[in-house]
Amino acid sequence: MFELLRPILHSAEAMLFLTIALGVLLGRQKLRGFSFGSAAGTLIVGTLLGALSGAAAPELSPTLKSIAFLFFVFAVGFQSGPQFFASLGRASLPLAVIAIVVAIMGLIAAVVAAWLFGFDKGTAIGLAAGSLTQTAMLGTAYGALEGVGLSASTLQEIEGRAAVTFALTYVIGTVGVVLFCSQIAPRLIGVDLKAAAQQLEVGQIGVTQGAGPQLDFRSLVARVFRVDAAQGLVLKDLNASLGRLAAVERVRRSNQDLPLSDDLCLQRGDLVAVQGYRPAIVDAAGRIGQEVAAEELVSDLLGDGVDVALASRYAGLTLHDAVTRLGEAGHGVFLRRIRRQSQELPVTSMTVLLPGDVLTLAGPPDRLGAVLPSIGTPVNRGHRADVAFLAAGLLCGVLIGLVTLTVKGLPITLSAGGGALIAGLLFGWWHAKRPHIGIPQSATQIMWDFGLAAFCALVGLTAGPQALSALQSEGLAMLAAALMVALAPQFAGLLVGRLLGIHPVLLVGALAGAQTQDAAMLAASDVAQSPTPALGFTVPYAIGNILLTMLGPAVVVLVA
């Protein structure tokens, strides 16, 4: 068996791709709702393969590891940039505070745990990154270590301990935060998460009752009716009777489409195509006439919709207020979904809009074309990335990482990874304002996923030979410290969130986001039987990705 694997063990390329393939597959496996995720799964497989291969392991390029990390961390900044800068505004300030508190308490807990248990620098780095479930922290810490002037063997030993500790503590960090957000936090503050979510949803819908147009975001449909009850009405009056949740999109008379105008008078037998949300469409039948089958009149009304990057003038407004500001220009154009980074938000009247949010709109091409400039900039759905834009961003990141500040003889630097993170933030913010320039979402997601997997694979393969000795020397103490570092920030964030008066459902989402835990947000949503925790998740997630990544150099400096 070993002989069959020998060609792979002697090939750096084969070992890398084998580790990524097996690691991602391991990360996908679920046990009672828990999964390792791609990062931890790849790191575990890499560490095992590195330990098994021992001296037979091929030489792996440190430059390749650095480039993989740069791709990953630039993508993190690029996707988080618009929400990161938007979080500096007043509307999302309480959620931003939660992310800051969690990051600061995470650093304090990691440093205190290292002192209490006598951990060395490498173990402390892995403890902080694993317990806080932030893989990027490993990369920025490694970059800081390289600037300290350690020997190659010492550096490899420290990095190996960090990687092994990360693999061991990541599971504790993940499970701890999932349980805290979904079970422990609601019990500590005496809240039934399901009832609180229902109350929040009712409050969001109720804001629009009797206060302007009522918003309803259920399934969008299109139907055709034969004019009977609406005979003699002009189109303006019919649209007014339908309300803001439905609109006449086409009128056909004697097999000819008529130009739509407010004074168009409807005649018996006209075919009227109406688009809107289902309750309004059901009501329309009684106002117009019998529904008929005429698919050709509505086939182009629904479609996939048009993606629009929201204009800055709507940033910080609730969806209800944004619709009110848009006014009559938006009549006949319907919202299908809102995406923020890779998360799809629950669409309610009180959803707060942020720069970089992508709205998917549906409606006739002429109406969309007329109203889109008032809403934002159409997003290019093409799959080609501007490679020059990407290379310029990575170059800026590397140059930022070269800047060094010496404090008491100790060089402090962001390293290339920290610089790439800052460059990603700036280039992502620029892209949000000009979405036709830059990198499509699909491309940045590949950079994120593959860069992270490749980095973890290379770290694990390098750390493998030191894995067993590290586990034997500090195993139990490491697990106890992981619980301390994972949960101390959650308790602090919960306390501050209650003092700030954040709604409990939004607060558990914010706690999950601050520690960049998608699984915890999903677990809280499952308990709440509602997607509303996502409303508190996205802003802290953007800030948490940045702040936790930047903690790597801080741990290097603060732990002896």
We report the CATH number of the domain holding residue 276 as 3.30.70.1450
Q: Looking at the domain assignment, is residue 207 inside a domain?
A: no
Each residue's pLDDT, cut to its tens digit, for the chain (560 residues) gives 445 566 666 777 888 898 899 988 988 887 766 666 777 788 788 878 877 776 555 677 778 888 888 888 888 888 777 767 766 666 678 888 999 999 999 999 999 999 998 898 988 999 999 899 888 888 888 888 877 777 878 888 888 888 888 877 887 888 889 889 988 999 999 988 888 887 776 655 433 333 333 334 445 777 888 888 888 888 888 888 887 778 888 888 888 888 888 888 988 888 888 887 777 777 788 888 888 887 767 666 655 678 888 877 787 788 878 878 887 777 777 787 788 766 677 777 777 787 778 888 877 777 777 788 888 877 766 667 788 888 998 999 888 888 766 655 555 666 777 788 888 888 888 877 777 677 877 788 888 888 888 888 887 787 766 665 666 666 678 888 999 999 999 999 999 999 999 989 999 999 999 998 887 887 888 888 777 787 788 788 888 888 998 888 889 888 87
Q: Looking at the domain assignment, is residue 190 inside a domain?
A: yes
146 and 31 in a common domain = yes
Q: How many CB atoms lie within 10 A of CB 320?
A: 20
- φ/ψ of 197, rounded to 5, equals -65, -40
Q: Looking at the domain assignment, is residue 221 inside a domain?
A: no
252 and 116 in a common domain = no
291/283 Cα distance (integer angstroms): 12
Domain end: 266, 288, 310, which one? 288
140 and 8 in a common domain = yes
Domain end: 288, 308, 338, which one? 288
173 and 265 in a common domain = no
Helix (H) or strand (E) holding 344: strand 343-345
Q: Looking at the domain assignment, is residue 422 inside a domain?
A: yes
Dihedral over Cα of 224, 230, 235, 241: its sign? negative
Q: Looking at the domain assignment, is residue 353 inside a domain?
A: no
267 and 124 in a common domain = no
250 and 159 in a common domain = no
245 and 122 in a common domain = no
Half-sphere exposure of 272 (CA within 13 A, CB side): 33
Domain end: 239, 265, 288, which one? 288
257 and 185 in a common domain = no
532 and 430 in a common domain = yes
399 and 272 in a common domain = no
- Residues in a beta bridge with 334: 362
Q: Report yes or no: 358 and 379 within 8 Å, Cβ to Cβ.
A: yes
* Number of residues that make up the chain: 560
541 and 402 in a common domain = yes
474/301 Cα distance (integer angstroms): 63
Q: Looking at the domain assignment, is residue 442 inside a domain?
A: yes
Q: Looking at the domain assignment, is residue 298 inside a domain?
A: no
Q: Looking at the domain assignment, is residue 318 inside a domain?
A: no
181 and 236 in a common domain = no
231 by Cβ neighbours in 10 Å (0-12 / 13-18 / 19+) ranks as middle
Q: Which domain holds residue 255?
A: 228-288
Considering its fold, how many domains does the chain have in total? 2
Can you read off the two tokens belonging to residue 323?
């619709």
Looking up tokens 């505070």 gives 97
